[in-house]
């Protein structure tokens, strides 16, 4: 089995396209509940594959040779899963609530590679 990180991306464009900010309070609360229920169902379906349940992510701070600054970052969450192949990992996220219910843009899946000199995971 291989290990994969899925990152959830949310952009200003995806929020705009979804109409999320135009929802009334009652409608938004209903959508949040529907999304939360769908996320729990997704996690239950894939519980054997989930290595790290992940989390939603907040604001980003960039630290580099030229200093520290706040930056915009479309990464809004992550989860780490185990799968036989990249294709199998990708298939876990088809129709994921991040972009079918919530205003997320997409989910990107990448294999977690071992450090140089270490055996593959």
DSSP class of residue 44 equals H
What are the two backbone dihedrals, phi and then psi, of residue 101, each rounded to the nearest 5 degrees?
Answer: -125, -50
Measured CA to CA, the distance from residue 59 to residue 78 in angstroms comes to 14
Q: Is the pLDDT of residue 31 over 80?
A: yes
pLDDT of res. 114: 85
The CATH homologous superfamily of the domain defined by 2-111 = Dimeric alpha+beta barrel (3.30.70.1060)
Chain center to CA of 63: 23
Q: Is the pLDDT of residue 54 over 70?
A: yes
**What average pLDDT does range 84-91 have in this prediction?**
98
The model scores a pTM over 0.85: yes
């Amino acid at each position: 089995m291989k290990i994969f990180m899925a990152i959830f991306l949310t952009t200003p464009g995806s929020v705009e396209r979804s109409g999320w900010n135009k929802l009334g309070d009652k409608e938004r609360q209903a959508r949040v509940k529907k999304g939360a229920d769908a996320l729990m169902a997704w996690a239950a379906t894939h519980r054997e594959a989930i290595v790290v349940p992940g989390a939603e992510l907040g604001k980003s701070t960039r630290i580099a040779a030229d200093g520290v600054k706040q930056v915009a970052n479309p990464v809004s969450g992550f989860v780490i899963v185990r799968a036989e192949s990249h294709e199998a990992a990708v298939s876990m996220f088809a129709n994921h609530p991040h972009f079918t219910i919530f205003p997320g843009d997409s989910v990107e899946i990448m294999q977690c590679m071992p450090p140089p000199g270490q055996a593959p995971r």
